[in-house]
Structure 1
Amino acid sequence: MNPNCTPATRITRSLLGYGVIAGPVYVVVALAQALSREGFDLSRHAWSLLANGDFGWIQITNFIAVGLMTVAAAVGLRRALASGRGGTWGPLLIAAYGVSLVGAGVFRADPGQGFPVGAPQSPTISWHGMLHFVVGAVGFLCLIAACFVLAGRFARAGQPRLAWFSRITGVVFLAGFAAIASGSQGPTTPAFVAAVLLVWAWLTTVSVHFYRAADRKD
């Protein structure tokens, strides 16, 4: 890190730093709950269900905090990209995903599939459960679009590895989301979790890339 960087660069790097840690924070907090809360089954329960029960506030806080981190990262990305292809839409789409995470925390998913313990297998869809699904779907689609927008940016910048990583992430996440949204049984939940891990790894990688690029500019 350049100790003589400008104040503007320091702000940009600080904002991008939230993009570096957002994914790891979300995954660690969610997995810690999934492995410790009674009745939660990683093979079939969506992480959104963790927002229910006595300790549901932890996952609600996780959604909101990580959503705000993602919005901050999007602002940093906008500052880093400045202009050119993807300079506007890439950050805007990532910011929209961040807002959707905040919405997912505000609008709690309905209990179901026996979680928390005693919940029915087939939940009654409430207004907040429906809004949770809607804001989540919009956010996922925005994030998928961001992958392809930034893939184009990386390709034009002569960075084929980042371009292909972005395209593959977009395709895998789209497939995972389509599978979980279909409501089909089988390994769809673990597959979606794998897609979530990949897309967070992508955001971390992109944030690290532009963090380093901002440092080199000074």
Structure 2
Amino acid sequence: MATTIQRLTASQRLTCLVAAAPLWVAVSLAQASMRDGFDLTRHPLSALSNGSLGWLQIANFLVAGVLTVIGATGLRHAMTSRWAPRLVLLNGIGMIAAGIFPMDPADGFPAGTPAGMPQTMSWHSYAHLAAGSIAFISLIAACYVLGRHFARTGDRRAAAVSCIAGTALLLGDTWAIIGGPAGSLTLAVGAITAMLWIAVVAARLR
């Protein structure tokens, strides 16, 4: 895979990063709207990895994660910031791991699952939580680092949007962790905002 990535131009790698977020968002939201028993105010998008169609979300995580990893190498060649590409790379690795280790069924999804959270968690569900934490923390940090980068280059609008995107994910993730009402929805909004902004940045640099 490393050899294949090396053959790609920086522009082609950035194109992978441009495509990663819209692909993941489109596939996730399409499933969220159609799969029986799924409620975005109660179930995180990661829960879509369960059930007979769970392979779709697993593949979604894996493909988007690989595209993000490839795109991060293009980001490294396109900007002077050292940490932004590294953090985006770590985000991609976290997404791949989140696909490999799905979370447990819970709170009525997939249909037929008992209401409420399970009393015990499987090892792969713990691994999923760890992977998700890595992905989210690195994505939040990447947005703030990009904000600082754009501020230094005089692009105040991009700097502001970067900070807004990072804050949206930070607040959404925090609200979900403390068990706030519709926490999975706020988390999804924050994650989608930050992911799509990274795609926009890649498109600008390409």
TM-score between the two structures when normalised by the length of structure 2: 0.92
- List structure 1 runs of 4+ shifted beyond 3 angstroms: none
Larger gyration radius, structure 1 or structure 2: 1
2:134 is aligned to 138
Once the two structures are TM-superposed, the CA of residue 151 in structure 1 deviates from its matched residue by 1.0
**Cα distance in structure 1, aligned partners of 2:161 and 2:63:** 26
**Cα distance in structure 1, aligned partners of 2:84 and 2:129:** 23
1:72 is aligned to 70
**Aligned ranges 1:118-129 → 2 under 5 Å:** 118-120=112-114, 121-123=116-118, 124-129=120-125
Structure 1 runs not aligned, ≥5 long = 1-7, 212-218
1:98 is aligned to 92
1:56 is aligned to 54
1:177 is aligned to 173
1:13 is aligned to 11
Decide whether the 8 Å contact of 2:173 with 2:186 is kept in 1. Answer: no
Letter in 1 for 2:113: A
**Cα distance in structure 1, aligned partners of 2:177 and 2:33:** 24
State the Cα RMSD in Å.
1.4
Aligned length in residues: 198
The one-character-per-residue Cα deviations of 1:144-164 (angstroms, maximum 9, x if unpaired) are: 111111111111111111111
The one-character-per-residue Cα deviations of 1:112-148 (angstroms, maximum 9, x if unpaired) are: 0110112122223110000100111121111111111
Once the two structures are TM-superposed, the CA of residue 47 in structure 1 deviates from its matched residue by 0.7
1:206 is aligned to 201
TM-score between the two structures when normalised by the length of structure 1: 0.87
Once the two structures are TM-superposed, the CA of residue 183 in structure 1 deviates from its matched residue by 2.5
Once the two structures are TM-superposed, the CA of residue 37 in structure 1 deviates from its matched residue by 1.2
Decide whether the 8 Å contact of 2:87 with 2:142 is kept in 1. Answer: yes
Structure 2 runs not aligned, ≥5 long = 1-5
2:3 is aligned to none
Once the two structures are TM-superposed, the CA of residue 187 in structure 1 deviates from its matched residue by 2.4
Task: Report percent identity of matched pairs.
Answer: 39
**Cα distance in structure 2, aligned partners of 1:115 and 1:54:** 12
**Cα distance in structure 1, aligned partners of 2:191 and 2:131:** 16
Letter in 2 for 1:96: L
**Cα distance in structure 2, aligned partners of 1:183 and 1:110:** 18
Letter in 2 for 1:90: A
**Cα distance in structure 1, aligned partners of 2:171 and 2:101:** 25
**Cα distance in structure 1, aligned partners of 2:37 and 2:82:** 44
